[in-house]
Amino acid sequence: MPLHAQGDDFPDHVVPGHEGVSVEQTFELFSAVAPRGWRVELTEGEITVVPPADGEHEEIVSELSGQVRDHDKGLGRYTGIGLRLPDGSKVIPDLVVAPKGSYSDQQEWHAPAAVLLVAEVTSASTAGRDRVQKIRGYARAGIPLYLLIDRDADVAVLCHGPSGDAYDHKVTHKLGTAVPLPAPFGFELDTSEF
């Protein structure tokens, strides 16, 4: 069951019903004991444990990564990078695109300053957060592009122009069509393989 905390700075708040244990401490405990391949995330004060993705999910992430690589070999494509967002959230996006070398250190959680694009591919366990909380978190972090591949709705949603808790522009494309990615990418993402 998700654990919640109230307030703007989630890590400093005590988990209700668990006196003396902060959300951050609980998050660290869950992260330490999660089975291999499972992801533990802290999104807007809620801890979630996400099971490994299915094959179709991974095929989509692989295709996204490959198209970015084919367009610009100077960009790094990261599938296991932890991002620490300004609202205290700690997330592991399905795909992070940033200049190569942006994450060459040994830190587990990184500031999102170098991120050019973050992508999420919905799964039964993540769809709600991908559509709502993560849009807010990525916008607050100033991440220029958020690409949501919504398998349930059969669409790709491209969000750009972060402003406060939202993106100024949200364009929905039917999967199977081309999705124009603005600068710094400047190419059309082919979603026919999705």
| Residue 86 within a domain | yes
Cα separation of 149 and 155, whole Å? 6
Q: What angle do CA 165, 181, 178 make, to 5 degrees?
A: 120
Split into its structural domains, the chain has a count of: 1
Encoding tokens for residue 24?
A: 């951050």
| Residue 13 within a domain | no
| Residue 2 within a domain | no
Ranges of H-type helices in the chain: 23-33, 55-71, 127-131, 133-140
pLDDT tens string 126-142:
999 999 999 999 999 99
| Residue 31 within a domain | no
| Residue 155 within a domain | yes
Can you give the CATH number for the domain in which 182 is found? 3.90.1570.10
Is the omega angle on the peptide bond into residue 184 within 30 degrees of 0, that is, cis? yes
Residue 85 has pLDDT above 90, yes or no: yes
CB proximity list for 19: less than 8 A, separation 6 or greater:
none
| Residue 8 within a domain | no
Residue 104 structural domain: 54-190
| Residue 154 within a domain | yes
Cα separation of 168 and 89, whole Å? 22
Three-class DSSP category at 9: coil
Q: Which of 2-6, 77-81, 93-97, 145-149 has the lowest mean pLDDT?
A: 2-6
| Mean local confidence (pLDDT), 179-189 | 95
**Structure confidence at residue 18 (pLDDT):** 55
| Residue 44 within a domain | no
Dmax (CA) for the chain in angstroms is: 52
Is 114 in contact with 98 (CB distance < 8 Å)?
yes
pTM of the model: 0.86
